[in-house]
Structure 1
Amino acid sequence: MSYTKPAEVINLMIQAGKAKIQLSPSDLLIRSALSGAILGFGTTLAVTATVQTGSGILGAAIFPACFIIVVLLGLELVTGSFAILPAAYFDRKITMSAMIKNLLFVFAGNLLGALLYAVLFWISLTNMGSSDTHALIPAIIKIAEAKTTGYAQYGAAGMITVFTKGILCNWMVTLGVVLFLTSTSASGKIIAAWLPIFIFFAQGFEHAVVNMFVIPAGMMLGAKVNFGDWWIYNQLPVTLGNIVGGVIFTALALYLTYKEKVIPAKEIEMTGSKAVLMEKAGYERLEI
């Protein structure tokens, strides 16, 4: 069957975390830069669909295409790593220092890729600064301002709100990574990963890597947002919220409930042509 059970998925998360630590800095930067740019493509696709149709839900429905490209290619997205690496750390397969080093490289690569796409998109949208009539320009400016000064006007309440939206976002995004592991077929992976990404985007939650593109892009297009607004009122609190969402609500929660639910191989008793999994407290007796 193409379905992978949750107790097996947590082991796949741990293995993936170990594999990520083995990547060289150059591999991390290249793969994460590609991810940052691809999420930028997905964001502009979603904004285009929303502007053309007037339906935000349609934009949210097609945004996951970029995430699916990233995971199918095995690229590096720091928000996904906020769950995968901690799972391996909780299982003592990687060290804290190795995890932090990996996350910093991926964060930097995502930022570089997002900024590269922002520049290229600005050129394509404005004829290299010669025109400001494209319909997407006011939409992206509005988004950039809403994500920064829009929160700033509420003071501490705004900061708590953007942090909370970061938690909610990456709770779903990391579930997208986990659900991707629940299937061994390409079609199953695509459908499973699409679901939680659609959920987060449709509700306007805050994703650190998406914001690495859309806020600088808005600034280039004329948004009344400065560098401090970007980082203080959005990028830093959103990143912290994404960390909490990925580490606590996905990695730790799934690890605690599923890690010990796998029956060790030594408890498999071979009887004739059948492998009987011996009954254990809390488990059903299964026959294969």
Structure 2
Amino acid sequence: MSYLIPAEFVKKMIDAGEAKIFMSTRDTIIRAYMAGAILALAAVFAMTVSIQTGYAIIGAMLFPVGFCMLYLLGFDLLTGVFMLTPLAWLDRRPGVTLKGIFRNWGLVFLGNFLGAMSIAVFMSIIFTFGFSVTPDKVGTTISHIGEARTLGYAEHGAAGMLTIFVRAILCNWMVSTGVVAAMICTNVSGKILAMWMPIMLFFGMGFEHSIVNMFLFPSAMIMGGQFSIMDYLIWNELPVVLGNLIGGLAFTGLSLYATHYKTAARRVIPIPTQHKQIIVQPRHEY
């Protein structure tokens, strides 16, 4: 079969979360580093195409290529482990603890940041010919995006913080849906198509992704963006990480776990004449 029913792929989600918790420190960091680097390359590729063509939708259509590559290679994003690892704890898998989950999150965050930061430095070298000239059009645009998505939120105070938080929730709802969608399919072409749709949606809508931002804002600062590290942390990265956590875990992981794995009780219909009961299973059509 090229498609798995929900009860089957939710079990795969739990198994994947358990495996990531027990992964070695070395493997976790390497896989996270590569995921952050590949996603950062995809982000700069999409922004470059958008700037060159003048059509942001084209960049959004092309951005998922990075997500597909890192998923097929088995690399890990923080947004994905936010959704998967708690399910193994909820399912009471042996040896799975909250400490193990937080350890995994911390290592993946570190690896993603290092990978994205590496690409920020590499692309800054390209945009400035080794820092010998002012940034080109793409580099200048990136610096302005960094300002708009930190100081721009700060100008609105609490309303700006609420906006970035909601954008982060919606982002990882879609990104984690992409992770799950890939588990639904058992062939490569099906996985790519299933992943492509929600990832394109999140990027095209301008939602906030913590790992993309790990590239965007350091790169913007190198390119001369007029904002500080604290602006980046307070008015972007930290609220985005929290929103990504809630969006992926609540809207994707827990909703699927609750309704397709820990399903509701079966209906019991008594038949008085025969003093027996018929157990009626919910009817599912896929």
- TM-score, normalised to structure 2, is 0.91
Counterpart residue identity of residue 153, structure 1:
E
Residue number in structure 2 paired with 1:64 = 64
Residue number in structure 2 paired with 1:161 = 163
Give the alignment's Cα RMSD to 1 decimal: 1.6
Residue number in structure 2 paired with 1:265 = none
Counterpart residue identity of residue 283, structure 1:
P
Question: Which structure 1 segments of 5+ residues have no match?
Answer: 263-278
Paired with 1:236 and 1:99, the residues of 2 have a C-alpha distance of: 19
Using the TM superposition, give the Cα deviation of residue 90 of structure 1 relative to its aligned residue in structure 2, in angstroms. Answer: 1.6
Paired with 2:279 and 2:252, the residues of 1 have a C-alpha distance of: 26
Using the TM superposition, give the Cα deviation of residue 212 of structure 1 relative to its aligned residue in structure 2, in angstroms. Answer: 0.3
Residue number in structure 2 paired with 1:73 = 73
Map residues 1-288 of structure 1 onto 2, 5 A cutoff: 1-93=1-93, 94-260=96-262, 281-284=280-283
- CA deviation string 1:47-101 (max 9, x = no partner): 1110111000100000000000110001011101111112212211221111111
What SS class does the counterpart of residue 219 from structure 1 fall into? helix
Paired with 1:86 and 1:246, the residues of 2 have a C-alpha distance of: 11
What SS class does the counterpart of residue 9 from structure 2 fall into? helix
Using the TM superposition, give the Cα deviation of residue 282 of structure 1 relative to its aligned residue in structure 2, in angstroms. Answer: 2.8
Using the TM superposition, give the Cα deviation of residue 143 of structure 1 relative to its aligned residue in structure 2, in angstroms. Answer: 1.2
- CA deviation string 1:164-187 (max 9, x = no partner): 110000000000000000000000
Contact 1:10–1:87 under 8 Å retained in 2: no
Using the TM superposition, give the Cα deviation of residue 134 of structure 1 relative to its aligned residue in structure 2, in angstroms. Answer: 1.5
* Between 149-158 and 133-142, the greater mean CA deviation after superposition: 133-142
Paired with 2:234 and 2:280, the residues of 1 have a C-alpha distance of: 50
Paired with 1:182 and 1:285, the residues of 2 have a C-alpha distance of: 16
- TM-score, normalised to structure 1, is 0.91
Question: Which structure 2 segments of 5+ residues have no match?
Answer: 265-277
Counterpart residue identity of residue 158, structure 1:
G
- Please list every run of at least 4 consecutive aligned residues from structure 1 whose deviation after the TM superposition is greater than 2 angstroms: 279-286
